[in-house]
Amino acid sequence: MYMTALQKLGLTIGVLAIVGVGVYMVFYRGAAGPGSGPQAATSTPNGAATSTNPSAGLTLSTPDYKKPIAFSAGTSVDIRAQLNASLKLVQAQLDKNPLDIKAWVDLGTLHKMGGDYRLAAEYWEYLTSSYSGTGTPYYSLGDLYQNFIKDYAKAEANYLLAVKVQPANVDAYASLYTMYHHTLGDDIKAAAILEQGLKANPGNNYLLSLQAELRGN
């Protein structure tokens, strides 16, 4: 059975907590509650070596996936070693197949876990620019901009693109709600995004619980 480099190395939630910057996993994040979690969808190349990311307004070419992780100062020696070992595996996957979307997602995750947010954003923005049909990199960018970089405009843009591409991504609606309600204090947008999420996912208990929370305030 195919396993990603992250799975092979056994980087668990406990390890992420030690790192301090990686408490949100790309595929299993659900900090606000038991959401469905984003799943990588089937994607196809857009057919251009250079294209435009609609959320970032950037023109991007294929990035250099061989770059080392620029670790944050608080990353321990042991964690650096584990992330660098995983990085080599992911880079080897991209050597074999530069169109491996999952490897690109994992590459961004490793850089994010090491505190290298700039390169994490670069790799995921490349994915959103060059491939269609997957909401995972949009969700990853939304989480990065919301919870780490604190650029809420870019977080909103990417989360909205995530639910446009993947309307069943309950966690993206929940993340938007959390940002609107708890961070920005915009309960009009908070209510609207929950209504949109419930329209796409009727009866979802997670979104219904957030709606009850909002109405209780």
Q: Per-residue pLDDT tens for 186-217?
A: 999 999 999 999 999 999 999 999 999 999 96
Position 61 scores a pLDDT of 76
Residue 90 lies in a domain: yes
* Residue 160, CA distances (Å) to 51, 142, 164 in order: 20, 9, 6
Highest-scoring range by mean pLDDT, 49-58, 104-113, 132-141, 208-217: 104-113
Cβ distance 94 to 4 under 8 Å? no
Taking all residues of the chain, what is their mean pLDDT, rounded to a whole number? 80
Cβ distance 123 to 111 under 8 Å? yes
Residue 54 lies in a domain: no
Residue 23 lies in a domain: yes
pLDDT digits (tens, 9 = 90+) for 77-91: 999 999 999 999 999
Cβ distance 111 to 122 under 8 Å? no
Instruction: Specify the DSSP element, H or E, that contains 44.
Output: strand 44-45
Rounded Cα gap, residues 214 and 193, in angstroms: 12
* Higher local confidence (pLDDT), 184 or 20: 184
Position 19 scores a pLDDT of 35
Number of structural domains the chain divides into = 1
Cβ distance 162 to 142 under 8 Å? yes
Residue 195 lies in a domain: yes
94: exposed, middle or buried (C-beta count within 10 Å: 0-12, 13-18, 19+)? middle
Helix axes 152-165, 170-178, angle to 10 degrees: 160
pTM: 0.73
Residue 61 lies in a domain: no
What ranges in 3-62 are assigned the alpha helix state H?
Answer: 5-9, 13-19
Domain CATH code at residue 18: 1.25.40.10
Position 217 scores a pLDDT of 66
Residue 63 lies in a domain: no
pLDDT digits (tens, 9 = 90+) for 4-47: 444 444 443 333 333 333 333 333 333 333 333 333 333 444 43
Cβ distance 71 to 114 under 8 Å? yes
Position 134 scores a pLDDT of 82
What is the extent of the structural domain holding 109? 5-37+68-216
Residue 190 lies in a domain: yes
Residue 200 lies in a domain: yes
